[in-house]
Amino acid sequence: MPLIKTGGGVTQITGSIAGNTFFRNRSGSVMRTRTVPTNTRTAIQVISRELLSKLDSAWYTTLTATQRESWSLYARNVSMKNKLGEVVNLTGQLHFIRSNQARMTAGLPLIGTAPSSPYALAEQDPLFLPYASSSIQLIAFYFNTLLPWVSENSAGMIVHVGKPINKTRNYYNGPWKFLGCILGSAGTPPSSPSYLESLPCTIAPGQKVFFKVQICRADGRLSTPSIFSTEVSELALPFTPFMQDNFNSYADGALNGQGSWSGPVVFLVDGTLPYEGAKGVRIADGGINDILKPCTSKVSSQVSCYIRKDTSKGNAGTYQSIFTKDNAANIVSEIGMFGQDIKYYSNLSLVTLLSNYSLATWYNVQMVWRGPPDYKCKYRVDNGEWTAWVTRGNPGSIGPTTQTLLESWGLLGGGVAYFDYIH
């Protein structure tokens, strides 16, 4: 691949001429042989071309003369930069197509009349932060909720994604695929983070994913693209755990009154059989008991806990679990040993996750929950496969999670159960 040093009558060159393509990278100006894809009629390309054709036709047949003049006036007052970094002014028709192609790709309505004074492009969001999780195949987007588009109907943040590449690469320029649009709303503005789980491909640790982001205002203003990237993480979500406790620093005896825990004295801190460290929590009682710890309010988070039962699985009414609640005492998420199986609680019903668990064995149970727009949860055992996103334990729970609770119910025949290492 040759490098080029320009001078004299030509100082910069970009684009393709005949069979050669010119561009710049960190090494300077570069020329390479122009490559033509073997299939230039992929489904995405066909849709994009059809949309361009429709918008080009709409400029002449749908827009009125007054509307076309409004775009021309907007174009004369809005400057942009070309690939060489030079300031240029597009035509009104190009601005109409540029704005509406992005809008219609995202499912937003066509804008016939151009934005009026003040003439400007939509603002960018320098606070935008993507996060990609391989363990639950989810992408979370953090964004500035104070920007105007957030509170506008028919506005949105349009996100395209590139193919996952090696994490050592720091540059990506396509191809891009439409991933989704975070819609603004005057009534219920979107909250950060927002989630997208319909990924075009599987992501894995060791990869980096690039995103092209544009903000589209309700009046048709469209920002210039911003490019962001993130390395794929194995963690479920980029949050610190909802709460952490290993019980090692507590005094032997009742857990009640230690570390903000409150509940019956049958939950005992001792060193009989901890999972890690010196101490854990033991329950030896046949009644219905739960002990809770208030936590910092979080709309989206995760928590893990080790649980164990050593005697008598009993029937379905015999269980021990860890669960979370909101301020209205609605169960957000719950997982534990119920009768013979490890189950989670979703939509007021128990769902089996692991059949016929073994006695005298520690199990790591994990829960992840997220906030708007759908308020759902995921579960897994011992770092196995995550469930799909499911309805919260109580479907009425749409507020932030505020408590972690340990619960035992009907430990038959003097059975003994244990909890340890919440993280």
What does the pLDDT look like over 12-71, one tens digit per residue? 666 666 667 666 665 566 666 766 666 666 777 777 788 888 988 999 999 999 999 999
pLDDT band of residue 224 (cuts 50, 70, 90) is: very high
**Interval 183-198: pLDDT, tens:** 999 999 988 888 877 7
For residue 410, pLDDT over 60 is answered with no
For residue 317, pLDDT over 60 is answered with no
What local confidence, expressed as pLDDT, does residue 412 receive?
47
**Identity of the amino acid at 107:** G
What local confidence, expressed as pLDDT, does residue 39 receive?
61
The residues pairing with 158 across neighbouring beta strands, listed in sequence order, are: 181, 214
Fold of 253-420: Jelly Rolls (2.60.120)
CATH, range 129-233: 2.60.40.10
Contact 235, 300 (CB under 8 A): no
Beta-carbon-side half-sphere exposure of residue 409 (alpha carbons within 13 Å):
15
Contacts of residue 363, defined as CB under 8 A and 6 or more positions apart, other chains included, come to 306, 307, 308, 337, 342, 354, 357, 381, 382
The two three-digit tokens of residue 330, written as one number: 């609605």
Q: Which of 110-114, 204-208, 330-334, 366-370 has the lowest mean pLDDT?
A: 366-370
Classify residue 172 by burial, with Cβ atoms within 10 Å: 0-12, 13-18, 19+.
Answer: middle
Distances (CA, A) of 220 to 81, 109, 187, 253, 341: 19, 10, 20, 65, 55
pLDDT band of residue 9 (cuts 50, 70, 90) is: low
pLDDT band of residue 318 (cuts 50, 70, 90) is: low
- Please give the residue that has the higher pLDDT: either 231 or 370: 231
Average pLDDT rounded to a whole number, residues 223-250:
83
Mean pLDDT, the chain, whole residue set: 85
What are the extents of the domains in the chain?
Answer: 1-36, 43-120, 129-233, 253-420
The residues pairing with 211 across neighbouring beta strands, listed in sequence order, are: 161, 228
Contacts of residue 144, defined as CB under 8 A and 6 or more positions apart, other chains included, come to 125, 127, 128, 150, 192
| Confidence (pTM) | 0.63
Contacts of residue 343, defined as CB under 8 A and 6 or more positions apart, other chains included, come to 335, 336, 350, 351, 352, 353
For residue 219, pLDDT over 90 is answered with yes
Alpha-carbon distance of 142 to 157, in angstroms, equals 11
Contact 95, 89 (CB under 8 A): no
Contact 314, 412 (CB under 8 A): yes
Beta-carbon-side half-sphere exposure of residue 181 (alpha carbons within 13 Å):
20
What local confidence, expressed as pLDDT, does residue 338 receive?
87
What local confidence, expressed as pLDDT, does residue 67 receive?
95
**Interval 84-138: pLDDT, tens:** 778 889 999 999 999 999 999 999 999 999 999 889 999 998 888 888 988 788 8
The two three-digit tokens of residue 268, written as one number: 């005992």
**Interval 151-183: pLDDT, tens:** 999 999 999 999 999 999 988 988 899 999 999
What local confidence, expressed as pLDDT, does residue 413 receive?
46
CA torsion 327→332→335→338, rounded to 10°? Answer: 80
Q: Which of 2-11, 221-230, 287-296, 404-413 has the lowest mean pLDDT?
A: 2-11
pLDDT band of residue 1 (cuts 50, 70, 90) is: very low
92-105 helix and 43-61 helix, angle to the nearest 10 degrees: 130
Closest CA to 421 of 263, 299, 246: 246
